[in-house]
Structure 1
Amino acid sequence: MDHYSRSRSRESSRGNTYERYNNYSSRIHSSSSERKHEDADHHSSWNEGHSRTQNDIDDVNDEAALYFTDCILYPPQEGIDRPYGERAKKKPIGCKTIYVGGFPDPLRHSLHRVESILHEVFTTNGGKIDSIRSNNRGFCHIRFEKTESVEMALSVHGYSMLIKQDRGTPFKFRLTVDYSESHGDWEEYEARQVIAKKLHLDSCPISSVPGYNVREADKVQQNLKSDEKFEESVVILRYWLNSGAMERQKSDTFYNLLQVTHAQVKRLDDEKTMLKSEFDEIKNRFKKRTGELEKMFDHLVKLYEDAKKQKCWDRFTRAQRKSIDGWLNTAKENLPAPKPWFGMKRQSTEMDIVDQEKQDSKNAVVAGFSHVKRIKTENKDQQTDVNETEQYKEFKISNLEENLQHMRQQVWELVSKMQMKDTTIQTYQEEIEALKQAEDKKDATKMKKQKEKVIEEKDVKLACMVANFLRIHPNGAAEKMIFEYLCECDINITMEKVCTLLKRFPTLFIKHSKSKDDDTNVYWTVFSLNEVE
């Protein structure tokens, strides 16, 4: 007790985090000696594994490593790390809490970062986490929302963790994961058992049932429509009904809840019908494929039996014969079992033989007669078995022929369909080529029109400039004067183009000459409004 008191005095100076852990440890364990024993076991396992971590972690297979945001987990090496079963303690009833230890000293003062790293690791390798209780002694306790998450979390026991650092060398250590006793887990397990016993359930999905009120009733009504919360909502509704929460004033509310469950019944019935149809379809496919495989095995058995005939068997070597015998036995093992009615008569005959042997001990004469009769009966039964076997073989052969004919028909249908598809594809290709050609022609025509439009716009601009020049010269101007004027305006044009432009707009430019046959003394004027009138 003195050592424990001294340790408690040292722990009180380490902050509120360690005080929370002390409260938790005193709530879980009935005596401090048990807690110290558990801590000693976990710290001894850390010291035992940490001595090998620094040398072995670099030899771990990187392909099996688990990568996270701030750390990497390497699996334990075969032949070096002890299996988990040697370290694990007995799982407590209703356990949802695990012990995680093995942190080096520098990390014991970075509790917030350790909690964030562990939350990411065990959410991935366990499930949703309810709470994380950490301290500065190199270990913590993680409580999950579901008990199934504990087994998944224990799978990373013995893994080597490498925590990244912005500056300095990364931290390398080996994780120790084990079950941990928790008073809260035990109380929750007991509460579930009480509810399950009252409702006659094998297991209860919830640990506590809220009291009835309008808000909780609305919440249950919404959860009844969800597959995830359906079971919990049904348990709560059953508990209310069995505990007398339903009164006359609340009958409408409970009726609405039951009506919602009836809608779920319809949906589940439809889903069940759909699953049954899918199962029947899979079963039919299985039967069909099994029949095909049995036929193939039967063909293989006949093939190997033909190979074992004398004229072929003598040509094989001893090793080849041994291989063929093995193949034949393997094919026979996969053949279907013989029909049960093939041996029914034989079995009844053997029973008759046993009875007849009892009578032989009493009367030798009757025994001799029965012996003869038995031989005749056996011969008759054997002949019947042979006939039935032949009929069965003929039946299988006819089935094979029918299946072969059916397969041929399917092949011809597939070939015809492929030919039709090829024809359709060729037609589509021709149509695409025609469309491409039409599109090319359309683009060429469009380009030509655009070019003509540009040329026309240029001619109109030149015509406007010539018209302005002729307006200044009301008595007219020669073609040479017009050409010189356009050249002075920095327009790249020839004399021939000027003549062509003047002749292109006869309604705008008027040609004059001193004589009809004289083309040298020609001058041009622009139209006037008087001439239009």
Structure 2
Amino acid sequence: MASNSMTMPTSDPSAWATAMSNLGMPPISMTGQQLLPDFDPSLGLMTGIAPMNPMIPGLGLVPPPLSQDAPVAKEIIHCKSCTLFPPNPNLPPPATRERPPGCKTVFVGGLPENATEQLIVEVFGQCGDIAAIRKSKKNFCHIRFSEELTVDKALLLSGYRIRLGSSTDKKDTGRLHLDFAQARDDLYEWECRQRMLAREERHRRKMEEDRLRPPSPPPIVHYSEHECILLGDKIKDDNKFPEAVRVLLTWLERGEVSRRNANNFYSMIQSSNGHIRRLMSEKSQHEKEMEVAKDKLKTVMASILAQFEQIVSVFHAASKQKAWDHFSKAQRKNLDMWRKQVEKIRNVHSEQLMGFRGEEEMEMSDDDMEDCSVTNSKDFEDSALISQAEALKEENNSLRCQLDAYRNEVELLKQEQGKKQPMTSEEDNTHSQQLSFLQQALQGMQKQLLRMKDELKEREAELEKSIEDKQQLKNQIHNLKAGLHNRQKDAGSKGCRQAEEGEEGLPEKSHHSPVHSERDALLVGIISTFLNVHPFGASIEYICSYLQRLDTKINPSEVEALLSRLPCTFRLELTGVGASLEKRWNFCGFQGIKNT
């Protein structure tokens, strides 16, 4: 019990905070949240109930909650005229009733017999402002606070033993017991507050509904002679016509027309009918403006499309061999990319222009088409009609061929029927059906034969072309082999070792020959043919890109080594200056023959 003998001045905020944090389990608020007393360091009093948090203003760092089995050490609270001793920490927390709604009043029991109202104010005034105290002659009282949160602070003192001064008399001691109290004033204030909140919620909902409600149309005036005259003048005015017509429609639907005012309504309806000419003229004017705008758009689109065609032709001209060989690899890549972009944009613009023309054709009726064909037949040519006419011509030719074949078959059948004996009606029907089936089958076979003939012609043409290309390539390779053979013979006559010739006259492979295999000879022939059509030479990358179309395994280093072994046939030249320096290989075989 050493903790009970400790003293603590009321002016020490930290001691007060320690004492209030050691009061046991924190109380439970109306929302079910654990609460701790908030401390005001300037007054040395509890000013509110704050949610349990590791950091609370005025209390600093709150210690972690203790377990239910561990005892809680509580401090003694000293006041001016009394002393409060904490209860036994091993005892369970005092029980309380259910909290009434809007409770601001607490029941305080176990007061000393000699306790006065001033003592009650001194002890419980530290929790908050006291509105009223109702003290009984017995040892209890009711205290009504100004705020609801003060009730939770006051309940923390439940279980404390109170002693007046230093007296040990039974009348000067007691054990405090605090609980919620039911008061009509608290219930009345809580109901008033709830009704006020409900009124505010209804007002807010009404304001929101009014804001979302669409605006109501302006009211329509009732019919009278004066209003009828004013409405007739408004109907004649072009600016006020829509509003006046709405009023006239409402009067007619209400049944304001009678035998007496029928003439007035007739005149207003007649005035409304007079606006038809104005509306039609405005419509025609807007249609003319739209047609002018469409014509202007079409002319602009046509000029843009013509410029795109010129740009595309520029790129096509640059892609030809005469100009294409002089560009570098990066430049060719950019030119190819630009050409594709321009062609794509050109196609999009041409589709838009054709779409405009198609819309015009759909809008025109049959009569308009006839008028246009009569008046503007010399100025415009309809591409759709031309294509349709060509399709009809082709269909007509095919039908003629089918008709001739059908006539021939019919004549043959007639001849066969004349030779045979007459048949019955049933046999005649079956025979005619068989003939019709045979005719259809013959027509289908004729169409298939025509298609197959066309395909055969195309394949024969492709085969002939490929055979001619192969024959030309064989002749070139043969000529190159003969030239190489002659050159080897000439080189042997000058001092090189001669190779033995076979029966066919072909030289065998020698270790000193620059051409080591038949594959090297083929490469030399193909490269010579390629460089012969490039008089300004070509780079090793360009040559290899051409050779790799024939064989993907060709290596640029291998080709360059082969060209360097034949200096009399291929010559390396450097073109350009600085960063544009480039190596080009030229064919010099004709000059080499002259020199040798």
Q: Is TM more than 0.5 here?
A: no
* TM-score, normalised relative to structure 2: 0.21
* TM-score, normalised relative to structure 1: 0.24
Q: Which structure: larger Rg?
A: 2
Greater RCO (CA < 8 Å, at least 6 residues apart): 1
